Amino acid sequence: MRTELPAEPASARQARSAVRQALAGWGMGHLSGDAELLASELVANAAEHSDGTPISLALRRHAGLGERPGITCEITDGSPAMPRRTEPGPDGERGRGLAIVNALAQSSGVRASQAGKTSWFALALTDRAHRIGRQIEHEPEAEA
């Protein structure tokens, strides 16, 4: 799934919606909460520090041989400025986004390009989430 978002604060909400819809369509809704939060954090950062060009959100699912199913989400913007992790004070309202991404993602990072940068994260199903997802896949449909 790939979508373009305007470089504005409201795009974080649009990113959450796009991620939620894609994961539901793939039968991976159990990853939705963390994926929506992390995508919205990275989109909000991109919008805040953007050069005004649209922000690209790409989400893909994967499962390597012997690995748990998961997703990788990439947020690309036109700013060459690389994100920096800050240490906000206890009353600070900003500056926690990258710490949240690092805490919840299986892996994450940033790569520079000539056109700007791409911030990304990967989430994989935990053993518990994988079991729940399998149970949901194999449950018979409820009759209406």
54: domain CATH number? Answer: 3.30.565.10
Q: What confidence score (pLDDT) does residue 80 get?
A: 87
Q: How many separate domains does the chain show?
A: 1
Residue 126 has a CB neighbour count (10 Å cut-off) of 13
Is residue 64 in some structural domain?
yes
Q: Which residue range forms the structural domain that includes residue 16? A: 2-82+95-138
Query: pLDDT in tens for each of the 144 residues of the chain?
Result: 999 999 999 999 999 999 999 999 998 888 899 999 999 999 999 999 888 899 999 999 987 556 778 999 999 999 988 877 777 666 656 667 788 888 889 999 999 988 899 999 999 876 444 444 555 455 555 554
Q: What confidence score (pLDDT) does residue 83 get?
A: 79
Is residue 90 in some structural domain?
no
Is residue 52 in some structural domain?
yes
Rounded distance between C-alpha atoms, residue 122 and residue 67, angstroms: 13
| β-sheet bridge partners, residue 112 | 117
Q: What confidence score (pLDDT) does residue 144 get?
A: 46
Q: What confidence score (pLDDT) does residue 92 get?
A: 57
Look up the pTM and report it. Answer: 0.80
